[in-house]
Amino acid sequence: MSTTTTTDPALDAQPEWSTATADELRARFAPVLTEIAEGALERERERRLPFAEVRALADAGFTAVTVPRELGGAGADVETLFRLLIDLGEADSNLPQLLRAHFLFANGLLLGDEEEDPAPWQRRLAQGDVFGNASHERSTARVGDLATTVVRDGEDYVISGEKHYSTGSIFADWINVTALTPEGQHARVTVRVDDAGVEVRDDWDGFGQQLTGSGTTVLRDVHVPASRVRIRGQSIDGRPTPQTAFLQLVLLSSLVGAGRAALRDAIGFVRSRTRVYSQGSGTTAASDPLVQSVVGRLSAKVAAAEDSVLAAARALGLAQDAVVQDHRDGTIGSERAHALIDAAELRTVQAQLTAVDEILEVTSRLFDVGGASATSRGRALDRHWRNARTLSSHNPAIYQERAIGDRLLNDSELLYFWSTGEKKS
């Protein structure tokens, strides 16, 4: 989609079949992404949630892009998905993040995470159904524990609780909720947004990513059929899984998209300027060598961040292929799959540290291309930094830096399950 980011085809090489698929899909979705980009500034000014934009993506097949072709999707591979999410992030960085739980669920179906046949859910995805999440809590429960409960009610279940940071759920048809049974077992409960007792609020008050609908979900005695409740066990499974890297890469795609948008808008701002400074060296801002240097530096940083994310996506693709092959062979948890998952997770954490630093600098230094007029509220160039800073605060990089260091120095295991809560000394 981008008209400001250029790449060397030799450095961007992929297998022939993958390149054709990626190019075909990017061309297919370009019109809807262009329309989303054209309304992004106005939505930001008005704080208007992108309900219509999410529906447009679903209607265009974007939200079913990884669903197998035989079930109505596009059958895109992992790297193609993240290329598309970066394109979407450039159009509006809110959208990849608010669809994170949706694509995670779709990816889990591909990996065989569900005990039952995944095809019925995949057909729903292909028909345009959108899935949200309600997992995070701000209760006094300890790290990894939950206050939301799901209990038997005859043949079915009743779920009650309050969730926060329910990113994307306000736009969704379905919400995947985490809960505990009275026996202390973890469960995933899938509720419809319009089920009686479900309330989703737009009360996210962060200064960035304001349109992700990352608000509160309240569940008041919601009756759920047994077919939509999956009991997972006494504790969260901490075994290596590709899903951890997948979740992080969706955030990084939003982040890189914000960087590409910042670069695009910096270039557009410079090209539109007719006034120059007395200290400048050009007759226009665009011909000033100092301004050209800033733009060149920004483009290099965006390219480095994007390349690091796509390299991690390729590593993740190898890991996921190994997991799927394990399921086919009946050898779940093979050493090969474990090694590839570990390599993908490490590369993803490294990409996070690279992309966070590079994109935060891009979204800050873009103001060096102009004077006070660049800070105009009407232009809202600050939204790129606010969005990037908010995205960079997820799974805080300081802990990831330490995790990599500990791994390299002491052969420690990487962490595959993130949670918050109170921790007893």
- Write out pLDDT tens, residues 373-415: 889 898 999 999 999 999 999 888 999 999 999 999 999 999 8
CATH number at residue 294: 1.20.140.10
Residues 229 and 248 in one domain: no
**Structurally, how many domains does the chain consist of?**
3
* Contact of 191 with 174, CB cutoff 8 Å: yes
pLDDT for res 307:
98
Residues 290 and 392 in one domain: yes
Residues 156 and 258 in one domain: no
Residue 237 pLDDT more than 90?
A: no
DSSP-based three-state secondary structure for 295 = helix
Show the CA angle centred on residue 187, arms to residues 421 and 55, nearest 5°.
90
DSSP-based three-state secondary structure for 203 = coil
Antiparallel, parallel or unpaired: β 174-180 and 131-134:
parallel
State which residues form the domain around 156: 133-233
Last residue of a domain, one of 104, 129, 154: 129
* Residue 22 counted as domain residue: yes
pLDDT for 254-286, tens place per residue?
A: 999 999 999 999 999 999 887 766 676 777 889
Residues 370 and 275 in one domain: yes
State the number of CA atoms in the 13 A half-sphere of 384 facing the CB: 28
* Residue 3 counted as domain residue: no
What DSSP character marks residue 350?
H
pLDDT for res 123:
97
- Closest to 168 (Cα-Cα) out of 137, 199, 200: 200
pLDDT for res 12:
41
Last residue of a domain, one of 207, 233, 259: 233
Tokens, residue 207: 């200064």
* Residue 57 counted as domain residue: yes
pLDDT for res 343:
96
Residue 86 pLDDT more than 80?
A: yes
Residues 114 and 59 in one domain: yes
Residues 191 and 270 in one domain: no
Q: Kindly state the average pLDDT of the residues 19-24.
A: 71
Residue 228 pLDDT more than 50?
A: yes
- Closest to 89 (Cα-Cα) out of 46, 60, 53, 61: 53
The torsion defined by the Cα of 87, 92, 98 and 102, in degrees rounded to 10, comes to: -30
55 by Cβ neighbours in 10 Å (0-12 / 13-18 / 19+) ranks as middle
Q: What is the mean pLDDT of the chain?
A: 90
CB atoms within 10 A of CB 376: 12
pLDDT for 320-377, tens place per residue?
A: 999 999 989 888 889 999 999 999 999 999 999 999 999 999 999 999 998 888 898 9
Last residue of a domain, one of 210, 233, 256: 233
DSSP-based three-state secondary structure for 412 = coil
pLDDT above 90 covers a percentage of the chain that reads 76
pLDDT for res 331:
85
- Could you write out the DSSP letters of every residue in 386-411? HHHHHHHTTTTHHHHHHHHHHHHHH-
pLDDT for 167-203, tens place per residue?
A: 999 999 999 999 999 999 999 999 999 999 999 999 9
Residues 121 and 191 in one domain: no
Q: Where residue 41 falls among pLDDT bands split at 50, 70, 90?
A: very high
